[in-house]
Amino acid sequence: MNSSFPDQLILDNPVRAYLWFAGILVVGLIFKRLITQAISWIAYTLIRKYSKGITFRDFKTLLSRPANFLILVIILYFAFDQLSFPKAWHLGPTEEPGIRYSIFILFQLIVSFAVTWTILRFIDFVGLILYKRAALTETKLDDQFVPYFKSGLKVIVIIFALLVVMAFISKMNVAALIGGLGLGGLALALASKETVENLFGSFTIFFDKPFTLGDQVRVGDLEGNVESIGLRSTRLRTLDQNLLTIPNKKMIDAELENITLKTMWRARFTISLTYAATIQQIQAVTKDISDFIQQHPNTKDNPFVKFTNFSPSSLDILIIFYVLTSDFETFHSVKEEINFKIMEIVELHNCSFAFPSSSVYVEKFTNSNQTQSKP
Protein backbone atom coordinates (compact mmCIF):
# COMPACT_ATOMS: atom_id res chain seq x y z
CA MET A 1 0.00 0.00 0.00
CA ASN A 2 1.41 3.36 -1.04
CA SER A 3 2.06 5.87 1.72
CA SER A 4 -0.04 9.00 1.84
CA PHE A 5 1.23 12.21 0.32
CA PRO A 6 2.27 13.85 3.64
CA ASP A 7 4.40 10.81 4.43
CA GLN A 8 6.26 10.74 1.11
CA LEU A 9 9.98 11.41 1.47
CA ILE A 10 11.86 14.18 -0.30
CA LEU A 11 15.56 14.43 0.55
CA ASP A 12 14.99 12.15 3.56
CA ASN A 13 12.27 14.44 4.91
CA PRO A 14 8.53 13.74 4.68
CA VAL A 15 6.31 16.24 2.90
CA ARG A 16 4.65 16.88 6.26
CA ALA A 17 7.94 18.32 7.57
CA TYR A 18 8.19 20.70 4.60
CA LEU A 19 4.60 21.81 5.21
CA TRP A 20 5.37 22.49 8.86
CA PHE A 21 8.54 24.33 7.80
CA ALA A 22 6.66 26.51 5.32
CA GLY A 23 3.75 27.10 7.72
CA ILE A 24 5.95 28.17 10.63
CA LEU A 25 8.03 30.39 8.35
CA VAL A 26 5.06 32.09 6.66
CA VAL A 27 2.98 32.54 9.82
CA GLY A 28 6.04 33.69 11.77
CA LEU A 29 7.04 36.28 9.17
CA ILE A 30 3.46 37.56 8.86
CA PHE A 31 2.96 37.95 12.60
CA LYS A 32 6.58 38.79 13.48
CA ARG A 33 5.92 42.48 13.95
CA LEU A 34 2.76 41.77 15.94
CA ILE A 35 4.61 39.27 18.13
CA THR A 36 7.40 41.77 18.71
CA GLN A 37 4.96 44.52 19.69
CA ALA A 38 3.05 42.17 22.00
CA ILE A 39 6.23 41.04 23.79
CA SER A 40 7.46 44.64 23.98
CA TRP A 41 4.15 45.79 25.46
CA ILE A 42 4.19 43.01 28.07
CA ALA A 43 7.79 43.85 29.01
CA TYR A 44 6.97 47.58 29.16
CA THR A 45 3.89 46.92 31.31
CA LEU A 46 6.00 45.02 33.85
CA ILE A 47 8.43 47.93 34.29
CA ARG A 48 6.09 50.86 33.57
CA LYS A 49 5.73 51.84 37.22
CA TYR A 50 9.53 52.29 37.40
CA SER A 51 9.76 54.32 34.18
CA LYS A 52 7.86 57.53 34.79
CA GLY A 53 8.30 59.98 31.95
CA ILE A 54 9.25 57.19 29.49
CA THR A 55 6.63 56.29 26.90
CA PHE A 56 6.04 52.96 25.21
CA ARG A 57 7.24 54.60 21.99
CA ASP A 58 10.64 55.26 23.60
CA PHE A 59 10.79 51.67 24.78
CA LYS A 60 9.81 50.30 21.37
CA THR A 61 12.29 52.58 19.56
CA LEU A 62 15.17 51.16 21.57
CA LEU A 63 14.14 47.50 21.46
CA SER A 64 12.29 47.11 18.14
CA ARG A 65 15.28 46.28 15.94
CA PRO A 66 17.06 43.79 18.25
CA ALA A 67 13.72 42.25 19.28
CA ASN A 68 12.66 41.85 15.64
CA PHE A 69 15.97 40.20 14.85
CA LEU A 70 15.70 37.88 17.89
CA ILE A 71 12.13 36.88 16.96
CA LEU A 72 13.28 36.21 13.39
CA VAL A 73 16.07 33.94 14.66
CA ILE A 74 13.59 32.05 16.86
CA ILE A 75 11.16 31.62 13.93
CA LEU A 76 13.97 30.31 11.71
CA TYR A 77 15.04 27.93 14.48
CA PHE A 78 11.59 26.36 14.87
CA ALA A 79 11.11 26.25 11.09
CA PHE A 80 14.41 24.53 10.30
CA ASP A 81 13.99 22.27 13.31
CA GLN A 82 11.27 20.46 11.33
CA LEU A 83 13.83 19.35 8.73
CA SER A 84 16.92 17.19 8.88
CA PHE A 85 19.93 17.09 6.57
CA PRO A 86 19.84 14.26 3.99
CA LYS A 87 22.24 11.45 4.80
CA ALA A 88 23.53 11.56 1.22
CA TRP A 89 25.10 14.93 1.91
CA HIS A 90 27.49 13.37 4.47
CA LEU A 91 27.62 16.52 6.58
CA GLY A 92 28.63 14.59 9.70
CA PRO A 93 27.37 14.96 13.27
CA THR A 94 27.14 18.27 15.11
CA GLU A 95 29.63 17.03 17.71
CA GLU A 96 32.56 16.70 15.30
CA PRO A 97 34.26 19.38 13.21
CA GLY A 98 32.72 19.63 9.77
CA ILE A 99 30.08 21.44 7.75
CA ARG A 100 27.22 20.51 10.05
CA TYR A 101 29.25 21.45 13.11
CA SER A 102 30.14 24.81 11.51
CA ILE A 103 26.47 25.51 10.74
CA PHE A 104 25.56 24.65 14.32
CA ILE A 105 28.26 26.98 15.72
CA LEU A 106 27.21 29.75 13.31
CA PHE A 107 23.62 29.48 14.48
CA GLN A 108 24.71 29.65 18.13
CA LEU A 109 26.77 32.76 17.36
CA ILE A 110 23.77 34.41 15.70
CA VAL A 111 21.55 33.58 18.69
CA SER A 112 24.19 34.91 21.10
CA PHE A 113 24.48 38.11 19.08
CA ALA A 114 20.69 38.61 19.01
CA VAL A 115 20.30 38.02 22.76
CA THR A 116 23.29 40.25 23.60
CA TRP A 117 22.02 43.03 21.32
CA THR A 118 18.59 42.89 22.99
CA ILE A 119 20.08 42.98 26.49
CA LEU A 120 22.33 45.93 25.60
CA ARG A 121 19.35 47.88 24.27
CA PHE A 122 17.40 47.07 27.43
CA ILE A 123 20.34 48.45 29.44
CA ASP A 124 20.06 51.63 27.35
CA PHE A 125 16.41 51.83 28.33
CA VAL A 126 17.29 51.40 32.02
CA GLY A 127 19.91 54.12 31.57
CA LEU A 128 17.24 56.40 30.05
CA ILE A 129 15.05 55.86 33.13
CA LEU A 130 17.97 56.68 35.43
CA TYR A 131 18.80 59.80 33.38
CA LYS A 132 15.21 61.02 33.77
CA ARG A 133 15.28 60.45 37.51
CA ALA A 134 18.72 62.02 37.90
CA ALA A 135 17.51 65.15 36.08
CA LEU A 136 14.92 65.68 38.84
CA THR A 137 17.57 65.96 41.57
CA GLU A 138 19.73 68.99 42.32
CA THR A 139 23.02 67.12 42.68
CA LYS A 140 25.05 66.22 39.61
CA LEU A 141 26.57 63.14 41.25
CA ASP A 142 23.78 60.86 40.08
CA ASP A 143 23.97 62.34 36.56
CA GLN A 144 27.63 61.39 36.54
CA PHE A 145 26.99 57.93 38.00
CA VAL A 146 24.47 56.87 35.31
CA PRO A 147 27.05 56.62 32.45
CA TYR A 148 29.37 54.59 34.71
CA PHE A 149 26.56 52.23 35.66
CA LYS A 150 25.36 51.82 32.07
CA SER A 151 28.83 51.38 30.57
CA GLY A 152 29.95 49.02 33.33
CA LEU A 153 26.85 46.86 32.93
CA LYS A 154 27.38 46.72 29.17
CA VAL A 155 31.00 45.67 29.64
CA ILE A 156 29.91 42.84 31.95
CA VAL A 157 27.28 41.65 29.45
CA ILE A 158 29.72 41.76 26.53
CA ILE A 159 32.41 39.89 28.50
CA PHE A 160 29.91 37.24 29.53
CA ALA A 161 28.68 36.93 25.92
CA LEU A 162 32.27 36.46 24.71
CA LEU A 163 32.81 33.79 27.36
CA VAL A 164 29.66 32.00 26.23
CA VAL A 165 30.84 32.12 22.60
CA MET A 166 34.26 30.82 23.62
CA ALA A 167 32.55 28.04 25.55
CA PHE A 168 30.50 27.12 22.46
CA ILE A 169 33.58 26.94 20.27
CA SER A 170 35.89 25.22 22.76
CA LYS A 171 33.15 23.06 24.34
CA MET A 172 34.18 24.18 27.81
CA ASN A 173 31.99 24.95 30.79
CA VAL A 174 31.52 28.72 31.21
CA ALA A 175 32.06 28.57 35.00
CA ALA A 176 35.26 26.57 34.50
CA LEU A 177 36.41 29.02 31.83
CA ILE A 178 35.87 32.00 34.14
CA GLY A 179 37.64 30.23 36.97
CA GLY A 180 40.55 29.37 34.72
CA LEU A 181 41.03 32.89 33.50
CA GLY A 182 40.60 34.58 36.86
CA LEU A 183 39.84 38.26 37.26
CA GLY A 184 43.38 39.41 36.62
CA GLY A 185 43.89 37.15 33.63
CA LEU A 186 40.55 38.23 32.18
CA ALA A 187 41.52 41.87 32.46
CA LEU A 188 44.88 41.28 30.82
CA ALA A 189 43.36 39.14 28.08
CA LEU A 190 40.51 41.48 27.16
CA ALA A 191 42.01 44.91 27.84
CA SER A 192 45.23 46.59 26.86
CA LYS A 193 47.39 48.62 29.20
CA GLU A 194 45.93 51.93 28.01
CA THR A 195 42.40 50.63 28.43
CA VAL A 196 43.11 49.69 32.04
CA GLU A 197 44.68 53.12 32.64
CA ASN A 198 41.62 54.86 31.18
CA LEU A 199 39.37 52.68 33.33
CA PHE A 200 41.21 53.66 36.49
CA GLY A 201 41.14 57.25 35.25
CA SER A 202 37.36 57.12 35.10
CA PHE A 203 37.21 55.88 38.70
CA THR A 204 39.51 58.73 39.73
CA ILE A 205 37.22 61.24 38.02
CA PHE A 206 34.15 59.75 39.69
CA PHE A 207 35.53 59.66 43.24
CA ASP A 208 37.83 62.71 43.17
CA LYS A 209 35.27 64.80 41.19
CA PRO A 210 37.62 67.36 39.54
CA PHE A 211 34.65 68.14 37.28
CA THR A 212 31.09 67.01 36.70
CA LEU A 213 28.67 66.93 33.79
CA GLY A 214 28.04 70.38 32.34
CA ASP A 215 31.25 71.94 33.71
CA GLN A 216 33.43 74.02 31.44
CA VAL A 217 37.02 72.77 31.65
CA ARG A 218 40.37 73.46 30.02
CA VAL A 219 42.75 70.52 29.49
CA GLY A 220 46.03 71.71 28.04
CA ASP A 221 45.08 73.64 24.90
CA LEU A 222 41.59 72.11 24.76
CA GLU A 223 38.52 73.76 26.26
CA GLY A 224 34.84 72.86 26.30
CA ASN A 225 31.79 71.77 28.27
CA VAL A 226 31.68 68.21 29.66
CA GLU A 227 28.91 66.33 27.83
CA SER A 228 29.57 62.79 29.02
CA ILE A 229 32.00 60.83 31.19
CA GLY A 230 32.48 57.22 30.19
CA LEU A 231 34.61 54.33 31.36
CA ARG A 232 37.22 55.02 28.68
CA SER A 233 36.91 58.66 27.68
CA THR A 234 35.32 62.04 28.38
CA ARG A 235 33.55 64.07 25.70
CA LEU A 236 33.85 67.85 25.54
CA ARG A 237 31.75 70.23 23.44
CA THR A 238 33.95 73.16 22.41
CA LEU A 239 32.79 76.76 22.01
CA ASP A 240 32.65 76.27 18.22
CA GLN A 241 30.45 73.17 18.79
CA ASN A 242 33.08 70.56 17.94
CA LEU A 243 32.89 67.31 19.92
CA LEU A 244 36.19 66.20 21.44
CA THR A 245 36.76 62.71 22.83
CA ILE A 246 39.61 62.73 25.35
CA PRO A 247 40.94 59.56 27.08
CA ASN A 248 40.34 59.65 30.83
CA LYS A 249 44.04 59.03 31.45
CA LYS A 250 44.83 62.38 29.82
CA MET A 251 42.04 64.09 31.78
CA ILE A 252 43.73 63.21 35.08
CA ASP A 253 47.38 63.42 33.99
CA ALA A 254 47.26 66.79 32.22
CA GLU A 255 46.82 70.15 33.94
CA LEU A 256 43.08 70.61 34.21
CA GLU A 257 41.32 73.89 34.93
CA ASN A 258 37.66 73.78 35.94
CA ILE A 259 36.44 77.12 34.63
CA THR A 260 32.95 76.61 36.06
CA LEU A 261 34.33 76.60 39.61
CA LYS A 262 35.88 80.04 39.16
CA THR A 263 34.24 82.58 41.45
CA MET A 264 35.41 85.50 39.30
CA TRP A 265 37.07 86.32 35.99
CA ARG A 266 39.99 88.71 35.57
CA ALA A 267 40.12 91.27 32.78
CA ARG A 268 43.52 92.77 31.94
CA PHE A 269 44.21 95.08 29.00
CA THR A 270 45.88 98.34 28.05
CA ILE A 271 44.41 101.39 26.35
CA SER A 272 46.75 103.76 24.52
CA LEU A 273 46.22 107.53 24.19
CA THR A 274 48.02 109.86 21.83
CA TYR A 275 50.84 112.12 23.04
CA ALA A 276 48.52 115.08 22.52
CA ALA A 277 46.81 114.21 25.84
CA THR A 278 47.74 116.47 28.76
CA ILE A 279 48.48 115.43 32.33
CA GLN A 280 45.10 116.72 33.46
CA GLN A 281 43.29 114.76 30.73
CA ILE A 282 45.09 111.50 31.58
CA GLN A 283 44.32 111.96 35.29
CA ALA A 284 40.66 112.62 34.56
CA VAL A 285 40.40 109.60 32.22
CA THR A 286 41.99 107.19 34.72
CA LYS A 287 39.83 108.52 37.59
CA ASP A 288 36.55 108.23 35.67
CA ILE A 289 37.37 104.71 34.44
CA SER A 290 38.33 103.59 37.95
CA ASP A 291 35.17 105.12 39.47
CA PHE A 292 32.89 103.45 36.89
CA ILE A 293 34.45 100.00 37.39
CA GLN A 294 34.39 100.48 41.19
CA GLN A 295 30.66 101.28 41.17
CA HIS A 296 29.67 98.50 38.76
CA PRO A 297 27.52 95.88 40.58
CA ASN A 298 29.30 92.93 38.92
CA THR A 299 32.92 93.88 39.62
CA LYS A 300 35.18 93.49 42.63
CA ASP A 301 36.28 96.56 44.58
CA ASN A 302 39.55 98.38 44.00
CA PRO A 303 40.24 97.98 40.27
CA PHE A 304 43.73 98.81 38.99
CA VAL A 305 43.69 101.74 36.53
CA LYS A 306 47.10 103.44 36.20
CA PHE A 307 49.12 105.38 33.65
CA THR A 308 52.00 102.94 33.35
CA ASN A 309 54.08 103.40 30.24
CA PHE A 310 55.50 105.77 27.63
CA SER A 311 55.36 103.77 24.43
CA PRO A 312 57.00 104.95 21.19
CA SER A 313 53.68 106.18 19.81
CA SER A 314 51.30 106.24 22.79
CA LEU A 315 50.69 106.89 26.47
CA ASP A 316 49.56 103.59 27.97
CA ILE A 317 46.99 103.05 30.74
CA LEU A 318 46.87 99.56 32.28
CA ILE A 319 43.41 98.37 33.42
CA ILE A 320 42.86 95.31 35.63
CA PHE A 321 39.57 94.36 37.26
CA TYR A 322 37.63 91.27 38.33
CA VAL A 323 34.10 90.34 37.27
CA LEU A 324 32.14 88.51 39.99
CA THR A 325 30.70 85.63 37.97
CA SER A 326 31.55 82.07 37.03
CA ASP A 327 29.76 82.30 33.69
CA PHE A 328 31.93 82.91 30.64
CA GLU A 329 29.23 84.75 28.68
CA THR A 330 28.32 87.02 31.61
CA PHE A 331 31.98 87.94 32.04
CA HIS A 332 32.28 89.11 28.45
CA SER A 333 28.97 90.98 28.63
CA VAL A 334 30.23 92.97 31.64
CA LYS A 335 33.58 93.50 29.97
CA GLU A 336 31.85 94.77 26.81
CA GLU A 337 29.78 97.23 28.88
CA ILE A 338 32.93 98.58 30.54
CA ASN A 339 34.73 98.84 27.18
CA PHE A 340 31.93 100.99 25.74
CA LYS A 341 32.05 103.22 28.81
CA ILE A 342 35.83 103.61 28.45
CA MET A 343 35.32 104.84 24.88
CA GLU A 344 32.76 107.39 26.13
CA ILE A 345 35.12 108.60 28.87
CA VAL A 346 38.05 109.02 26.47
CA GLU A 347 35.84 110.94 24.03
CA LEU A 348 34.36 113.05 26.87
CA HIS A 349 37.80 114.34 27.84
CA ASN A 350 38.74 115.15 24.23
CA CYS A 351 41.37 112.46 24.00
CA SER A 352 42.10 110.05 21.16
CA PHE A 353 43.20 106.44 21.05
CA ALA A 354 46.69 105.98 19.65
CA PHE A 355 47.76 103.53 17.00
CA PRO A 356 51.29 102.51 15.96
CA SER A 357 52.84 105.42 14.09
CA SER A 358 56.13 107.21 13.58
CA SER A 359 57.14 110.79 12.84
CA VAL A 360 59.91 111.83 10.42
CA TYR A 361 61.63 115.18 10.99
CA VAL A 362 63.51 116.75 8.05
CA GLU A 363 66.07 119.36 8.97
CA LYS A 364 66.26 122.33 6.60
CA PHE A 365 69.79 123.54 5.84
CA THR A 366 70.61 127.13 4.81
CA ASN A 367 72.44 127.88 1.51
CA SER A 368 75.53 128.93 3.40
CA ASN A 369 75.70 125.53 5.00
CA GLN A 370 75.09 123.73 1.75
CA THR A 371 77.69 125.76 -0.28
CA GLN A 372 81.31 124.98 0.19
CA SER A 373 83.73 127.88 0.29
CA LYS A 374 85.73 128.39 -2.85
CA PRO A 375 89.50 128.36 -2.69
CA gyration radius for the chain?
38
CB 43 within 8 A of CB 54: no
Task: Spell out the domain ranges in the chain.
Answer: 5-201, 209-261, 265-348
> What pLDDT is recorded for position 319?
96
Angle between helix 328-348 and helix 279-295 axes, rounded to 10 deg: 150
Burial letters for 248-261: b for 16+ Cβ neighbours within 10 Å, e otherwise? bbbbbeeeeebbbe
Report the C-alpha gap between 354 and 372 in whole angstroms. 44
Contacts of 142 (CB under 8 A, 6+ apart): 130, 133, 134
* CATH code at 265-348: 3.30.70.100
Helix (H) or strand (E) holding 13: strand 13-14
Distance, C-alpha 361 to centroid of its chain:
63
Contacts of 52 (CB under 8 A, 6+ apart): 132
Handedness of CA 164, 169, 175, 181 (dihedral sign): negative
Side chain identity, residue 256: L
Torsion, Cα of 119, 122, 123, 126 (10° steps): -160
> What pLDDT is recorded for position 86?
63
Report the C-alpha gap between 205 and 191 in whole angstroms. 20
- Class of the CATH-defined domain 209-261: mainly beta
Side chain identity, residue 285: V
CB 215 within 8 A of CB 207: no
What strands lie across the sheet with 304-311, from one edge to the other?
Answer: 265-273, 314-323, 304-311
DSSP 270-299: EEEE-TT--HHHHHHHHHHHHHHHHH-TTB
> What pLDDT is recorded for position 91?
57
Say whether 265-348 and 209-261 share the same fold.
no
Low-confidence spans in the chain with pLDDT less than 50: 1, 189, 371-375
Instruction: Report the half-sphere exposure of 165 (CA within 13 A, side-chain side).
Output: 16
> What pLDDT is recorded for position 118?
84
> What pLDDT is recorded for position 92?
54
DSSP three-state, residue 102: helix
